[in-house]
Structure 1
Amino acid sequence: MTRPPGSGAGDEPMIAGGGPAAPSAALLAETAVRALREEALLGPKPGLVDHRGGGAHDDMDLPLLLASAEALRPVFRAVADASERTALGVGLREELGRLGRAGDRVMLRATRGVNTHRGALWALGLLVAGAAGARDEREGVRRAARLAALPDRRMPAGALSNGERARRRHGVRGARGEAVAGFPHVVDVALPRLRRAGAAGAERDVARLDALLEVMSLLDDTCVLHRGGVEGLRMVRRGASRVLAEGGAGTDSGRAALMDLDRRLRSHRLSPGGSGDLLAAALFLDMVPWPEPSAGTGREVVACRR
């Protein structure tokens, strides 16, 4: 498997005999936090928080995202620990639900009530759980998808999230559907883009921006749908497609199209947060030191196109 520059290859723990050991719970938590940090630090991201400021948000900035990511470290560690000691089933799903709700409270305390990483906590929490004890990427994703499909009978009744309201209103897959389907925008879109770019010698941040843009061009992002409806989603998807058609973030014309898209998303207060969460998920999967090399999922990138 080819990794983009700086992806964490070479950090694998070893066991006697020279083979790589399964990643520990502590390492999985560290990798999840690192993925969140690196997604936050990446820029310029259209409409999203980065080193330039809050993007389409007026209640968050880069230091807040970094603090939120660090606050979630013990949550991811607890998720990995639970997954190592509990068989995959409804009992584990309900324990992960409890940990996720506790993690949401941890995040809100760290950010003074700002929802910085709720979607990422869901996606990365499942992938951390799936990776615990998995032999390779394929198995880790498959386990995460099985967990997402199981019921959480302890889920308290309450108000729907903005993303769930948007999912129901517009009839799209949403975060849970993405997970149940095996994270197709991660494994069929973002990861192949990252790895092709890495194999071609592209700069790391250019590869990551182009992976983000490809997800943005395809995803029915409920963060965008909540704020801008179908027209807002069309603006995001067409704008991202235009950047890629101009050669991507690494070309002069592509960078100009990227900055134009950023200006438009900021002016319309459109934040493709779902795409950002899935980029973080792709970074996580690519940085995990799997015990066995993965041949990939075998699915085609076009599976995500509508």
Structure 2
Amino acid sequence: MNNDKQTFSLTAAKVAKRSLIEEVELTPKPGLVDRSNTGAHQDLTLQLMTTSAEALTDTFEKIAFISYDCSPSSSLREEIAAIGRDGEKRMFEVTGGVNTHKGAIWAIGLLVSAASMGKGMYTVEENVTLAGELARLPDRYCPATKTNGGNVTAKYGVGGARGEAQQGFPHITQCSLPMLKRSRADGLTEEKARLNALLALIAHLDDTCILHRGGPEALSFAKKQAALFLTNGKIDYLNTLDEDFTRRNISPGGSADLLAATLFLDKIQTYKTEDKVRREYEYTI
């Protein structure tokens, strides 16, 4: 069993890292860092985001390892939170103090834990349910520091990253993942399917990153424009939207985190296949 535990922990960590890198490399994304530009960000680059994702591999592996074949509990919640905070420190070390993936550590960390509880055999629905149960448990050691996300949720009465997780990631199960699968079924390229999934999130999520930068007006604009893209599906329009978001200082960072989490949930399902396929998969990530 210990060998299975180590194997799955490493695999889950690699899938998490790959999902973060695939999110940032997806192009063109409105207001976000991608292969073309840095969007509405002055302190981020593609290389910095990639370096950050690679540095977090060990964090996700540790979360998976301690969660393997366990059940949600307060002690497990506190253990993975401590690992996550250490991961944040590592992130800040390699980025020179820039917040690249704090939200993603929270979201994907919970999903890594949930997937590991089921030894990689659980469905998406089971994984998000467990992640939500874990997110609702208390963490006695959580520092009482104010964050941009916390300030925005209090000011505007939205759920934010914490609420999304505690509800079992409804925007993933109801928006991005169905859109990803539907777009693939319609014969779209993987890149276009992922862009559609991202825009579905922007169109529906009360993104606290957008609210922090531009308030309700910016959020309303982003949602309407994302929905418009989903009706016409033209990449040229997405390039224009990128320019508009950048000019308005709109960055849908919360949606980007959930897209990475969506990709993780989608990829980790491959682990449930037969051993031969699983081994081949492990070597490709």
Q: With the length of structure 1 as denominator, give the TM-score of the two structures.
A: 0.84
Q: How big is the shift at 1:199?
A: 1.7
CA RMSD between the two structures: 1.8
**Residue 268 (str. 1) matches residue 268 (str. 2):** no
Cα deviation, 1:195-252, whole Å, max 9, x if unaligned, reads 1111222100000001100110000000000000000101110110111121x2xxxx
The whole-number CA distance in structure 1 between the counterparts of 2:197 and 2:70 is 34
1:154 aligns with 2:141: yes
**Structure 1 position 291, deviation (Å):** 2.7
Counterpart of 1:222, as a letter, is T
Deviations 1:29-77 (A, max 9, x none): 0000000000011000000000112110000110000000000000000
Q: Distance in 2 between matches of 1:48 and 1:130?
A: 28
Q: Secondary structure at the match of 1:182?
A: coil
Matching residue of 1:189:
175
Moved more, 80-89 or 202-211: 80-89
- What is the CA distance between 1:86 and its match in structure 2? 4.8
Query: Which residues of structure 1 form unaligned runs of 5+?
Result: 1-19, 249-253, 294-306
Aligned to 2:235: 255
Query: Which residue identity does 2:151 align to in structure 1?
Result: R
Q: Distance in 2 between matches of 1:168 and 1:290?
A: 39
Alpha-carbon spacing, 1:71–1:85, altered in 2? closer, same or farther (3 Å) = same
Per the alignment, residue 86 of structure 2 pairs with: 102
Counterpart in 2 of 1:166? 152
Distance in 1 of aligned mates of 2:141 and 2:150? 18
Aligned to 2:132: 145
Amino acid at match of 1:239: Q
Runs of 4+ in 1 over 6 A off after TM superposition: 20-23
Classify 1:236/1:154 alpha carbon distance in 2 versus 1 (closer, same or farther; 3 Å). Answer: same
Structure (1/2) with the larger helix percentage: 2
Deviation at residue 87 of structure 1 after TM alignment: 3.9
Tell me, which stretches of 5 or more residues in structure 2 are unaligned? Answer: 275-285
Shift of 1:21: 10
Distance 2:218 2:186 in 1: 33
Partner of 1:50: 34
> How far apart, in 1, do the equivalents of 2:100 and 2:200 lie?
22
Distance change >3 Å, CA 91–CA 41, structure 1 → 2: same
> Residue 57 of structure 2 aligns with which residue?
73
Letter in 2 for 1:153: R
**TM-aligned CA distance change 1:292 to 1:141, over 3 Å:** farther
Q: Deviations over 1:71-110 (max 9, x none)?
A: 0000000100111265420000001111111111000001
- Larger CA deviation: 73-82 vs 282-291: 282-291
Task: Determine if contact 1:79/1:125 at 8 Å carries over to the other structure.
Answer: yes
One-letter amino acid matched to 1:167: T
TM-score, normalised relative to structure 2: 0.90
Percent of aligned positions with the same letter in both sequences? Answer: 45
Q: Aligned with 2:217: secondary structure?
A: helix
Checking the alignment, whether the CA contact within 8 Å between 1:163 and 1:174 is kept in structure 2 is: yes
| Equivalent in the alignment of 1:287 | 267
Structure 1 pair 85–207 and aligned structure 2 pair: CA distance change class (3 A): closer
State the match for 2:277 in structure 1. Answer: none
Output the amino acid matched with 1:140: N
Separation of aligned partners in 2, 1:23 and 1:230: 45
Cα contact 2:23–2:259 (8 A) shared by 1: yes
Alignment: residue pair count: 267
Query: Could you say which residue in structure 2 is the equivalent of 1:235?
Result: 221
